Amino acid sequence: MESCNCIEPQWPADELLMKYQYISDFFIALAYFSIPLELIYFVKKSAVFPYRWVLVQFGAFIVLCGATHLINLWTFTVHSRTVAVVMTTAKVLTAVVSCATALMLVHIIPDLLSVKTRELFLKNKAAELDREMGLIRTQEETGRHVRMLTHEIRSTLDRHTILKTTLVELGRTLSLEECALWMPTRTGLELQLSYTLRQQNPVGYTVPIHLPVINQVFTSNHAIKISPNSPIARLRPIAGKYMPGEVVAVRVPLLHISNFQINDWPELSTKRYALMVLMLPSDSARQWHVHELELVEVVADQVAVALSHAAILEESMRARDLLMEQNVALDLARREAETAIRARNDFLAVMNHEMRTPMHAIIALSSLLQETDLTPEQRLMVETILKSSNLLATLINDVLDLSRLEDGSLQLDLGTFNLHSVFREVHNLIKPVASVKKLLVTLNLAPDLPVYVVGDEKRLLQILLNVVGNAVKFSKEGSISMSAFVAKVESLRDFRSPDFFPMPSDYHFYLRVQVKDSGSGINPQEIPKLFTKFTQTQPLATRNSGGSGLGLAICKRFVHLMEGHIWIESEGLGKGCTANFIVKLGFPERSNESKLPFAPKGQANHVQTNFPGLKVIVMDENGVSRTATKGLLVHLGCDVTPVSSTDECLRVVSQEHRVVFMDVGADGYELAVRLHEKFAKRHERPLIVAVTGSTDKVTKENCIRVGMDGVIVKPVSVDKMRSVLSELLEHRVLLGPM
């Protein structure tokens, strides 16, 4: 102790206090030394901390403070100078480091405050982002529910299934206690409870549409909350102590109002709506959120679209069913019409055949009688009978031709003929009839009118006879003039109709015929009726002359077949009529002029007029027709064997017989086949000719199919039979019906 210069203590040392100071300084030093270690760990782990050098200063300050407290343990007792120097040095260093750290904090504290501000800002931004993410998640959830509901709603096009599915899916998605749909009634003055989720109330309950709450919903574009006590919200009975859940209502546009059978609608708006009501559970404190209301609005729009599609489908299905019914009715009408046409054609065919058979006898026997020695008076009577029979045959042809014209099976039989001879023949046929009524009939043929032309001679003759015959029929006195000339295509411009298009050509020309009479005339308004079958105009009824019958109707169709046009002109009653028609005819080829069938007699080949000893067989089960045909052939010098059946014909036929005339109605087809079987060689077999009253193409085709050599259409005159035999014996085949 002698070497210690320390000051003597003024109070004696208390061992207890010393003990506590030792312990306190030790733990203070321990704490000071541990804090730098923690700071070092923090700096090491925090790679983004910006103030590391400040931490170094704090660490040094804390270490020095800890060292001071640690050295202080040796100063409570007598200590050496070295301890005092170390203690003093430690305190000086601590003071320096403390002051430096304090000065440094003056500059750092503002930065630390700004860091705190940024931290608060970032916290606010993070909270805002959390809210936005929650909204996005809510929207995604709402979109998912909308897609799911839309898929379920549009999985069907049945209106009732759509509405029921909507309620079920909304109830499941939003955990609803009840969901209902109110539909407008037929009158449009009430809303009817049509669909419910839980089906607590009976469907069919109605409320007036003029309620304020309904007007409020109908005039809003959004889903709105309504009172649970509203008439449209009373979907479940109120029971227990719980308050009813919140209720919202939204309108559902009805885009196709006709499908809901609404006859009237109040003037609330230009659109029509249904009403959807949704109720939250009453035993919870749930409230409607915005995204749930948006979901309800979107679903309501999707339901409207789905109902529109379903309505369109229902309309198309109804239209399809109606179309199917109409198709069935049309098919039935078509079959009935076809049956009627077949019956008509069968009737006409039978009547045609049955009427031609007696006409055949009349014309055949009259033509035979005409070639005998007769007095002038007898000859006149026979000629009258023959001409009248020919006119009657023409009428029969008209009836059959009309049916064939109507079904489109009639075709023109084109050939080269003498056009002038046709007009003269018509003139000669009409003159005797006109002379009875003291009518003067004149014929004027233009100088440039071709003599030989190509066309259907028979149809042209029918047209002329009908037109001139009508002029004679409806004229009591005066004159009738026939004029024929070549019409220039340029002059036909005024006569064009929708189905008449004249075209110039070097191979054909247009023949125009005018038949003018001085009769009582026709009202211009009645002219279109003249071309209708069996039509009688009002002025005609007063003449006791009958109607136009089939004549003009057939003429119009024949003219159209000849690519022409027909019309009638009249200035009125008492001013006569002018019938006009234009037909297209062809020019014959130069190489065929020598082969014209109407060449003058001096240029024609000598034709055998009689066939003495020609053995023929006539097979016809009709005695009158058989007798008439036999008479024609006997008159031509033939050796005729009449038979009445197929078996009899097969018994008597031999190689000596040259021709077999048979009626196709009396097993003629079978006879033709058996004749081919009996005579294997063609030169040994007699020629087979059908004599029929049928003029249809089917009969001719059947005759050719069974091997017949020719077809003759009744009635047959002497000249016609002579021509047939000449052609048969010359060519051994008759290519077409005569």
664 among annotated binding-site residues: no
- Report the DSSP pairing between strands 710-713 and 687-692: parallel
Q: Which residue has the higher pLDDT, 593 or 676?
A: 676
Q: Are 234 and 211 in contact (CB under 8 A)?
A: no
Token pair, residue 259, equals: 């499908």
630 among annotated binding-site residues: no
DSSP states of 144-178 as a string? Answer: HHHHHHHHHHTT---HHHHHHHHHHHHHHHHT-SE
Give percent of the chain with pLDDT exceeding 70: 79
Which of the residue ranges 51-65, 301-315, 619-633 has the most confident prediction, judged by mean pLDDT?
A: 619-633
**Residue 394's pLDDT is what?**
66
Buried-exposed string 80-96: b where 16+ CB fall within 10 A, e elsewhere: eeebbebbeebbebbee
pLDDT band at residue 603, thresholds of 50, 70 and 90?
Answer: very low
DSSP state of 667: T
Query: What CATH number belongs to 615-731?
Result: 3.40.50.2300
- The H or E element spanning position 579 is strand 577-586
**Residue 597's pLDDT is what?**
41
Q: Residue 381: is its pLDDT beyond 60?
A: yes
65 among annotated binding-site residues: yes
Which of the residue ranges 547-556, 633-642, 674-683 has the most confident prediction, judged by mean pLDDT?
A: 633-642
Token pair, residue 29, equals: 């030093």
225 among annotated binding-site residues: no
Question: What tens digit of pLDDT does each residue of 406-443 get?
Answer: 666 667 778 888 999 889 888 888 888 888 888 888 99
**Distance between CA atoms of residues 18 and 270, nearest Å:** 102
**Distance between CA atoms of residues 623 and 630, nearest Å:** 10
**Distance between CA atoms of residues 89 and 52, nearest Å:** 26
Least confident of 201-215, 389-403, 542-556, 644-658: 542-556
pLDDT band at residue 727, thresholds of 50, 70 and 90?
Answer: confident
Superfamily of domain 411-595: Histidine kinase-like ATPase, C-terminal domain (3.30.565.10)
DSSP states of 669-705 as a string? Answer: HHHHHHHHHH--SGGGSPEEEEEES--SHHHHHHHHH
What is the mean pLDDT of the segment spanning 543-563? Answer: 69
Return the domain boundaries, the chain: 15-124, 159-288, 411-595, 615-731
What is the mean pLDDT of the segment spanning 227-256? Answer: 77
What is the mean pLDDT of the segment spanning 352-362? Answer: 73
Q: Residue 239: is its pLDDT beyond 90?
A: no
Token pair, residue 591, equals: 């190489």
**Residue 586's pLDDT is what?**
92
- The H or E element spanning position 191 is strand 190-196
471 among annotated binding-site residues: yes
Torsion angle (degrees, nearest 10) of CA 465, 470, 471, 474:
160
Q: Are 467 and 515 in contact (CB under 8 A)?
A: yes
Q: Are 162 and 156 in contact (CB under 8 A)?
A: yes
Least confident of 59-73, 128-142, 592-606: 592-606
pLDDT band at residue 483, thresholds of 50, 70 and 90?
Answer: very high
Sign of the CA dihedral 652, 657, 661, 665? positive
533 among annotated binding-site residues: yes
**Residue 328's pLDDT is what?**
92
The class level of CATH for 159-288 reads alpha beta
What is the mean pLDDT of the segment spanning 96-117? Answer: 75
Token pair, residue 617, equals: 């067989």
346 among annotated binding-site residues: no
Q: Residue 599: is its pLDDT beyond 50?
A: no
In this prediction the pTM is 0.44
Question: What tens digit of pLDDT does each residue of 130-182 get?
Answer: 888 877 776 777 677 677 777 766 666 777 787 888 888 888 888 888 888 88
663 among annotated binding-site residues: no
DSSP states of 4-60 as a string? Answer: --PPPPSSPPPHHHHHHHHHHHHHHHHHHHHHHHHHHHHHHH-TT-S-HHHHHHHHH
Q: Which residue has the higher pLDDT, 440 or 37?
A: 440
